[in-house]
Amino acid sequence: MPAHIVLGVGAGIAAYKACELLRRLTEAGHQVRVVPTRDSLRFVGTATWAALSGQPVTVSAFTGVHEVPHVRLGQEADLVFAAPATADLLARAASGQADDLLTSVLLTARCPVVFAPAMHTEMWEHPATVANVRTLRERGCLVLEPASGRLTGADSGPGRLPEPIELYRAAVRVLARGVAGLAPDLAGRRVVVSAGGTREELDPVRFLGNWSSGRQGYALARTAAARGAEVTLVSANVDLDDPAGTKVERVISAIQLQSAMLAAAAGADAVVMAAAVADYRPGARSQEKIKKTGAAPEPLRLVENPDILRELASQRRPGQVIAGFAAETDDILANGRAKLAAKGCDLLVVNRVGRGVAFGTDDNEAVVLAADGSATPVPRGPKEVLADVVWDLIARRLAEHQ
């Protein structure tokens, strides 16, 4: 449903990325009013914002005073999204200043407010910025974690503004939650999500693998970030943009995934194993490409990979919630309940795969089985919908352990 959105633009070089974010929001049918800071216009000018939004652009609360914009814009907005949110903007927002139109809007907004920080690493890690981010989150604002990568000049590190498509997806997830987005229910929680399919190398050019695209795991990570969680995404062999507000660790094999997940889970409140892990790996990897010789090939000896979900469940801390995924082609419920008992996890998402379902698609359908015997069916729909159901069930269990 179309929404009224205020796009706040801070004075950082990453302001150019907000142009693409604005284009995606308007093309989706949303009415977007751009409210830049005065210095941000040194990077992207008023004419650009007005042309892309089709709305008037001003930085002053004294323009169009009869319309009381410094109050009205915040009151009427369904979402305020600040990108880039510079260290200066975060500081002024945290201290409650109202010295320009954007900070005034932030004070009057009664809708979800999202900050997408962008700045140099030293500024992001400075104790003042850390304190300001903590203050904003405690007030119910969603402050996304910045991406890591190339910054201005030759510098590289955490502080990069996520890509516009991921900022757009974050905005969509917050809008989908409506008034629930006013109090991110996973705020302060640390969660770990795995995604993608592992690859087990036969030689330098071949591997054993599966059809997992990682889209469901990425939807889970994206949704958790939009609900306020601190998200670590362990990603195995995907071709997807990093979800905004997440820390991404890349792996290839099941053994690498096992190591990364066990390490990340140690400090997590919840763990979701959505990655498709190869059951077996070659007993030996050839250091050179295996060539055809005309003779029958040598038999391939396989060894069993570790059961990472079962291992995570066996090592979970008190109050920690462990969820897994089980891809099945037949006897969904019977196989799912047997796996739930064998794995020892709290929740198991059982979905049918194959023939155009689940793998490589944008939608999914599943039944979420719980250790308490309950079952939550999720009809076919966008993978983000299934992600929200999973996090609803996890959030409920986390609240019970408080």
Q: Please give the C-alpha separations between residue 10 and each of 99, 142, 159, 222, 378, in angstroms, as whole numbers.
A: 14, 16, 14, 23, 40
DSSP 8-state secondary structure symbol assigned to residue 66: G
DSSP 8-state secondary structure symbol assigned to residue 193: E
CB 167 within 8 Å of CB 21: yes
Distance, CA of 23 to CA of 28 (rounded, Å): 9
DSSP 208-271: E-----SHHHHHHHHHHHHTT-EEEEEEES---PPPTTEEEEEE-SHHHHHHHHHHHHTT-SEE
**Strands annotated E in 305-356:** 321-328, 347-352
DSSP 8-state secondary structure symbol assigned to residue 18: H
CA dihedral 143, 149, 150, 152 (to 10 degrees): 20
| Residues annotated catalytic, as ranges | 210
Determine phi and psi for 88, rounding to 5 degrees: -65, -45
Determine phi and psi for 283, rounding to 5 degrees: -65, -25
Hey, is 58 helix, strand or coil? coil
DSSP 89-100: HHHHHHTT--SS
In Å, the largest CA–CA distance within the chain is 87
Distance, CA of 244 to CA of 116 (rounded, Å): 8
Is residue 243 classed exposed, middle or buried when 0-12, 13-18 and 19+ CB atoms within 10 A define those classes? buried
CB 363 within 8 Å of CB 383: yes
Pairing of strands 156-160, 147-150: antiparallel
Determine phi and psi for 287, rounding to 5 degrees: -80, -15
- Please give the structure tokens belonging to residue 132: 């300001």
